[in-house]
Amino acid sequence: MRKVLQAGLLVAVLGLAGFPALAGDEEAFDVAKHYTVKVRARVELPFFGDHRGTYHGAGFVVDTQRGWILTNAHVVARSPSVVHVSFRGGEYIPATKLYVDPVIDLAVLEIPAKSRPARLQAATLDCSQMPAIGHVVGAFGHPWNLSYTGTRGIISGITSKFAGMLEMLQTDAPINPGNSGGPLISLKSGKVVGINTAVRRGSQNTNFAVPMVHACHILTLLRQGKDPSPPELGMAFVLDIDEANRLVVARVYKGANGASVPRAPRLDPIAEGANGPSLARTPRLDPIADGPTAGDVLREGDVIRSVNSDGAVENKGQLIHRLRGRLKNTMLHIERDKQKMDVRVSLRPVVSTPARGGIHVSGALFAAMPWVEMREVMDKHMGLMVHYIEPGSAADAQQIRPMDMLLSVDGQPAPDIDTLHRLLTEAEKANRPARIKLLRLSDIENNFFVYVERPMPVTGLRRITGGNGPSS
């Protein structure tokens, strides 16, 4: 018994010996205080996936000359938002959304030169490689409004299954509301290896971060004046539960390239909401270069092996990462019916639903349907959806609901923003309600969908513009 107790005590002592923070940990967290900021964003008119109100999170400086700050997209919102940041001990100052990625949960903010602190310090980034499993890291941010707080853990894994498409760093370093957008720091090198992003609710210390390998690539393209937007692939892929490291095409959406909007990744937010009135700068849609699109040359069952011979592609996240900045006349190396071949494609950048704009009328916000998969099986005249209903508005009084899909206005199809605006303008000029026909996911047993018709007064009609600038 004595020997057993001694052995147990030895294990306990050894376990404790490796756990306490090292001097390097203290130095890394102390340095992080100088480049980490608080981020606050306010949203008045939220698109799908965002919420009305004020969000709080973290960010960190990545470029002192340009005044760039890196954070999560869900901290500053994909919807129009007013954003402010504050440095340790300072007041909140305005910031502009320079770039918000419509796929990966990442945003780049810009601070005006006149508002920057005199001694702006940037984080040192590890852009070279993914950290190894077991690598000791620290999450830094403002959890539960506890400012400039660090927690310690390890890299638990790298997964492409979280959110269905993104390569994410998995860590057991505790992450809580307020950590979103803050740095995940290597406690060995002091370099930032990821952006604290999400927590798996109901789990014990299963947290996720956007890898700096991906974020650095976006920053490099922005510095070069190139569009870092991900590609509009116009296809879906087989979910490989066995992790065979094969990217297999499951479905090609004909004619969808450059026109559809992908499903936004569902990341469990770890910060309370963000959002407000100007959109991020939206990359210009360049015309497709001469050559076939992905939908023209790829088929179901094709296995995508690499892009321009730039290393193997094992998942959708890697494919998107390698296609950024090189969408025109790109060579894909594929395998079809066990035969290797090269195909050349041209792609357009993804444009987020908020960047495409919307219609705000009678307290309802109509914008593009965010699910290309659903649009494939729905009526060809459908393309718009209710994203938000203001409580107490005329639309609310008519029991119009978020996620209602628009079929017609006054008996005429309204598949796009221009058509909807025209039909509502006609009703407004005639001083009459517009008869809205909607398709709704049913809460009635044995009914998947129900049809809803409502006479909606046309008040406060306005277009919400995409790209730069406020709503108009």
Instruction: Tell me if domain 235-265+282-345 and domain 357-464 are identical in fold.
Output: yes
Check if 321 is active-site: no
pLDDT greater at residue 469 or residue 317:
317
Q: Which residue of the set 105, 172, 302, 404 is catalytic?
A: 105
- And the tokens for 7? 């052995």
292 band by pLDDT with thresholds 50, 70 and 90: low
Residue 180 has pLDDT above 70, yes or no: yes
The pLDDT of 443-449, averaged and rounded, is 74
Asked if residues 400 and 409 have their Cβ atoms less than 8 Å apart, the reply is no
Mean pLDDT of the 329-339 span: 92
In this structure, the dihedral spanned by the alpha carbons of residues 325, 326, 328 and 330, taken in order and rounded to 10 degrees, is: -160
* pLDDT at 258 (0 to 100): 37
pLDDT band at 20 (very low <50, low <70, confident <90, very high): very low
The length of the chain in residues reads 472
In the sheet with 303-307, reading across from the earlier edge strand, the strands are 235-237, 247-252, 303-307, 330-336, 339-345
Mean pLDDT (the chain, rounded): 82
d(CA 28, CA 127): 17
pLDDT of residue 161: 63
Of 50, 56, 74, 160, the catalytic one is 74
In terms of pLDDT, which residue wins out, 232 or 405? Answer: 405
Of 13 and 466, which is predicted with more confidence? 466
- 3-class DSSP string for 397-447: HCCCCCCCEEEEECCEECCCHHHHHHHHHHHHHCCCCEEEEEEEECCCCCC
Whether the pLDDT of residue 21 is over 70: the answer is no
pLDDT at 407: 93
Q: What is the CATH topology of the domain spanning 235-265+282-345?
A: Pdz3 Domain (2.30.42)
74 is catalytic: yes
Residue 273: pLDDT band with limits 50, 70, 90: very low
Q: Which residues of 330-355 are buried (b: 16+ CB within 10 A; e: fewer)?
A: bebbbeeeeeeeebebbbbbbbbbbb
pLDDT at 256: 46
Pick the CATH number of 357-464 from 3.40.50.300, 2.30.42.10, 1.20.810.10, 1.10.10.10: 2.30.42.10
- What gap in Å lies between CA 271 and CA 192, rounded to an integer? 20
The lowest-confidence range among 204-213, 298-307, 369-378, 424-433 is: 369-378
Q: Which of 202, 204, 143, 147 is nearest to 171 (CA)?
A: 204
Per DSSP bridges, beta strands 449-456 and 434-441 are antiparallel
- Distance in angstroms (rounded) separating the CA atoms of residues 438 and 421: 16
**How does residue 210 score in pLDDT terms, banded at 50, 70 and 90?**
very high
For 359-394, the pLDDT digits (tens) are 999 999 999 987 765 655 565 667 899 999 999 999
pLDDT above 70: residue 276: no
Q: Percent of the chain, pLDDT > 90?
A: 57
**Exactly one of 180, 352, 362, 393 is catalytic; which is it?**
180
Q: Is the predicted pLDDT of residue 283 greater than 50, yes or no? A: no
Q: What is the pLDDT of residues 403-418, one digit of tens each?
A: 999 999 999 999 999 9
Question: What residues does each domain of the chain span?
Answer: 235-265+282-345, 357-464
Tell me which of 2-16, 131-145, 385-399, 438-452 is least confident: 2-16
- At residue 290, does pLDDT exceed 50? no
40 vs 236 pLDDT, higher one: 40
Q: Is there a catalytic annotation at residue 180?
A: yes
